[in-house]
Amino acid sequence: MYRDAQGKVTYTNVAAAAPKGAKKIRCFQAASPPPVSSVAPQRSEPAERNFPSVDRNTQRERDAERRRILERELAAERGRLARARQELEEQESVRTGNERNYQRFLDRVQPYREAVETHERNVQALQREINNLR
């Protein structure tokens, strides 16, 4: 950061690009990495003792609730996918008079195709998430 006699501030990482007569106000230098110690840090307690835990029944209830939530979301997303596919079919079956150019038809239908693709990806992601549960 350089400031000239008129007070104009210039930022540059090349000293030659600084305005003539400007004074260096601030210079950012790369921070040096911390020194590497040859001695490995010692742990006073095993990691399991420091990690908060819950009993098995509580965890099972949480997992079951998560599965129920994901299954509800999956059912809702499948319904949205069905509606999006139906809207796409309706739009593809209609050709308006100003769509003599096929590209206009494609431009009009594209948002419906993107909606179907988005809902398909959401269904796949939810299904993967359910499959990854214990």
Round to whole Å and give the CA distance between 72 and 67.
9
What is the residue-wise DSSP string for 81-93? HHHHHHHHHHHHH
Domain spans of the chain? Answer: 55-132
Banded model confidence at residue 13, pLDDT cuts 50, 70, 90: confident
Per-residue pLDDT of 44-103, as tens digits, reads 555 566 777 889 899 999 999 999 999 999 999 999 999 999 999 999 888 777 767 888
Q: Which residues pair with 3 in a beta bridge?
A: 9, 23
Residues of 69-100 as b/e, b for ≥16 C-beta within 10 angstroms?
A: ebeebbeebeeebeebeeebeebeeeeeeeee
User: In 3-state terms, what secondary structure has residue 45?
Assistant: coil
Which of 7-11, 28-32, 59-63, 106-110 is the least confident region? 28-32
